[in-house]
Amino acid sequence: NIQSVSVRIDDVTVTEVIVEDSTTIHLKCSESPERIWLGTYSSITYTWLRNSSPLSETGETLPLTTSGTYSCSVKLDSKVAVTSNTVQVTVSSTPLVTTTATNPVKGSRVILTCGPKRGDGVVYTWSKDSVVIYRQFDRKLHLDNVDTADSGTYSCSAFHSGLFYSGSITFNVQETSTAECGLDKNCTKIGFVCDNIVCKCASGHFQDDGSCVAIDAKTNTTICASDKDCTLTGFKCNNKLCVCASGNLPINGECSAMEKNGVVQVVSSMVLIMLTCVILKFI
């Protein structure tokens, strides 16, 4: 005879389940003793209920697609059916897995967080593209120095005192820095424009350590927004171009802070030294 029935996920009895609407989770109606001990010729009938109303599914497992209060019953041959505990199920449209970067850049760090913070004793499981990530039992999954190979769908599940929740998130590691936008003004970094809802380097710019650096084709001068963007000594921002400040001289791509009268003084001093050497030579 069937002694008891429980609703389980991964052989763990649950009383509350929270899953994302994009995640496929199955409840299992589990009887005790197990089916193999009930006899080969025994006929077992499963009945699933949601909010006390019978469902059309009659199998041992039930996929979750709708929120509600679930239970199941198991009937052996013509004996009285045994009913399980009830399980409160919430199918959420809110992501249960959050990330520090939706479009991470190659070489950056990404931290994934699994659901709301619970008490001690929570058992977490992480997987990537349905493959379990071993030795990852914490609520947060740290991914350092990410590469394009780290792109994919990351899923987590957690058990805690009868509560089970599960979610997933998908991201792609970018070769360069991007961000979703609607207009150019939403791309706040210098040199970025909005291209197909993504912030990208404008034409004539090149990517440099997460920033867009622009060079004016005619003057070969860095484009700027303010003087602080002109990092080389002697340069200042003038009409969006880093140019030599007034009184400075461009020498080999740099601005010399030497004034013209200073040049005259140096030349005069050099002439005086040369004349002195000539005089001493004839003495």
> Do 11 and 85 share a structural domain?
yes
Quick one: pLDDT at residue 263?
Answer: 39
CATH code at 132?
A: 2.60.40.10
Which residues does the chain have with pLDDT short of 50?
209, 217-218, 252-253, 258-272, 275, 278
Range of the domain at 201: 193-231
Whether residues 76 and 17 fall in one domain: yes
pLDDT at 256: 60
Judgement on whether residues 59 and 112 belong to the same structural domain of the protein? no
Q: What pLDDT sits at residue 116? A: 84
Q: In this predicted model, what pLDDT tens digit does every residue of 94-146 receive, in sequence order?
A: 889 999 887 788 888 899 999 888 777 888 999 999 999 998 889 999 999 88
Q: How many domains does the chain have?
A: 3
Is 243 contained in some domain? Answer: no
Residue 280 falls inside a structural domain: no
Task: Report yes or no on 152 lying in a domain.
Answer: yes
In a domain, 215, yes or no: yes
pTM of the model: 0.57
217 is a domain residue: yes
Q: Summarize pLDDT for 125-139 with one digit per residue, the tens.
A: 999 999 999 988 899
122 and 151 share one domain? yes
If asked whether residues 76 and 19 sit together in one domain, one would say yes
Examine the domain organization and report whether 81 and 110 are in the same domain: no
Instruction: Please identify, among 63, 89, 115, the residue that sits at the C-terminal boundary of a domain.
Output: 89
Residue 167: HSE in the Cβ half-sphere, 13 Å Cα cutoff? 20
